[in-house]
């Protein structure tokens, strides 16, 4: 019998912003786990960046981002990323990822990666690695709606 665990595929998408209370609830649900010594959480929030351009009013800023995705492709890719993360950090006990779809206003949460492990180093490394992989590999797109009623497509460097 193999030591390799297969983890349940999960739908990472939520409609609209991620409620800050959900973050607290996520932590609380792990309070009974005595094998966990560390939690690491990354929270992405929509920034009200000022955007320059000749077709924009001076000082036009991001009012919201409308997120769309190739859902099936993103979930398939996310399953691979999750399995790779559990293989790379075998002491990780939990990995939760949530990403918004639809409109998220400036100041609201749009992305959450939460990992638990027996020690902080594994949890920290895993979260940073998962965030970077998601940003690089998942077909999630953001259309930034600006305060002057124009829009631009967000790109991840």
Euclidean distance between CA atoms 109 and 20, whole angstroms = 7
CB 62 within 8 A of CB 150: no
Predicted confidence (pLDDT) per residue in 40-64, tens digit: 999 999 999 887 665 666 677 899 9
**Distance, CA of 149 to CA of 132 (rounded, Å):** 31
Domain boundaries, the chain: 13-50+64-151
As a whole number, mean pLDDT of residues 13-25 equals 97
> What ranges make up the beta strands (E) of the chain?
13-15, 38-45, 62-69, 92-105, 109-117, 140-146, 151-153
Would you say the C-alpha torsion 77, 94, 136, 64 has a positive or negative sign? positive
Cβ atoms of 92 and 116 within 8 Å: the answer is yes
pTM for this entry = 0.89
CATH class of 13-50+64-151: alpha beta
Tokens of residue 2, six digits: 């193999």
Q: Is the pLDDT of residue 155 over 80?
A: no
* pLDDT per residue as tens digits for the range 74-127: 999 999 999 999 999 999 999 999 999 999 999 999 999 999 999 999 999 999
pLDDT at 2: 38
Specify whether the CB–CB gap between 106 and 46 falls below 8 A.
yes
Please give the pLDDT value at position 39. 95
Q: Which 3 state secondary structure label does DSSP give 132?
A: helix
CA 122 to chain centre: 18
């Amino acid at each position: 019998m193999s030591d390799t665990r297969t983890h349940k595929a999960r739908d990472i998408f939520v409609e609209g912003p991620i409620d800050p209370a959900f973050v607290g609830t996520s932590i609380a649900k792990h309070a009974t786990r005595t094998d966990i010594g560390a939690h690491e959480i990354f929270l992405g929030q929509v920034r009200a960046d000022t955007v320059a351009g000749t077709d924009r009013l001076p000082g036009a800023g991001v009012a919201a981002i409308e997120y769309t995705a190739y859902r099936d492709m993103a979930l398939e890719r996310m399953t691979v990323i999750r399995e790779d993360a559990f293989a790379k950090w075998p002491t990780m006990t939990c990995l939760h990822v949530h990403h918004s779809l639809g409109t998220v206003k400036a100041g609201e949460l749009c992305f959450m990666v939460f990992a638990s492990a027996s020690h902080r180093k594994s949890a920290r490394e895993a979260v940073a690695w998962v965030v970077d992989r998601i940003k690089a590999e998942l077909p999630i797109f953001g259309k930034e709606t600006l305060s002057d009623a124009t829009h631009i497509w967000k790109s991840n460097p």
